[in-house]
Chains A and B, each alone.
Chain A
Amino acid sequence: QQPVQSPQAVILREGEDAVINCSSSKALYSVHWYRQKHGEAPVFLMILLKGGEQKGHDKISASFNEKKQQSSLYLTASQLSYSGTYFCGTAIYGQNFVFGPGTRLSVLP
């Protein structure tokens, strides 16, 4: 069951903030976030395992609301290097995970 992501695309100016949402119709065991730059492989950003957990590094953080079966990725004071497509990957209990359709983020100078 593929998770749903929103928005599909977002354009920011450097220094602005963005939120990318990911939701599933089924109970989740974990949520993963990956970023893919054009022509490259997806790269792991972070994994959230527990309901209500929040994680982050640098100015990118994420939350996981197990009850709502949702996760959000927060990009603060965006940098040019944040441009790319962000995928959430969700794991339903006991199963391997699948990726959402992706959110294309463009950060402009």
Chain B
Amino acid sequence: EPEVTQTPSHQVTQMGQEVILRCVPISNHLYFYWYRQILGQKVEFLVSFYNNEISEKSEIFDDQFSVERPDGSNFTLKIRSTKLEDSAMYFCASGGAAGANVLTFGAGSRLTVL
């Protein structure tokens, strides 16, 4: 069964450092997403990406985040100048069609900011 692959599974970083999280979506999917989940809390939307550009982003996105699709397979999330409160699980998801999307989630990347 096709799956979404995320790396690293866990990253520890110092406050103020930049972090890049990587995702390989399902190959024939067109829509890509990043979500964040602080431990025990809701799954929070960060950004959606379609046709090589951002289609929607959350209010907090521009403060610290950026996304890229550097080649035909990878989808990356960059977190600039990490803060303690950025410690969370970051999920990548991909889907086939907007609105009726069925999202397939990756296993997540756990970020710990010290």
Interface residues of chain A, those whose CB is within 8 Å of chain B, are 2, 29-30, 32, 34, 36, 40-44, 47, 49, 87, 89, 91, 93-102
Contacts and interface: CB of A to CB of B under 8 A. Distances in A.
Contact of B33 (A2, A32, A96): A96
Given A41-B108, A96-B48, A47 B100 contact: yes
A91 B108 contact: no
B100 A41 contact: no
A101 B106 CA distance: 20
B42 A30 contact: no
A93 B105 CA distance: 23
Q: Closest 9 A-B residue pairs measured CB to CB?
A: A41-B105, A101-B42, A99-B43, A96-B48, A91-B99, A98-B45, A29-B99, A96-B56, A42-B105
Given A42-B43, A102-B42, A102-B43, A96 B101 contact: yes
Given A36-B43, A99-B42, A99-B45, A41 B99 contact: no
A49 B99 CA distance: 9
10 contacts: A32-B101, A32-B102, A42-B43, A43-B105, A87-B43, A89-B103, A96-B31, A96-B33, A96-B101, A99-B42
Contact of A95 (B56, B100, B103, B104): B56
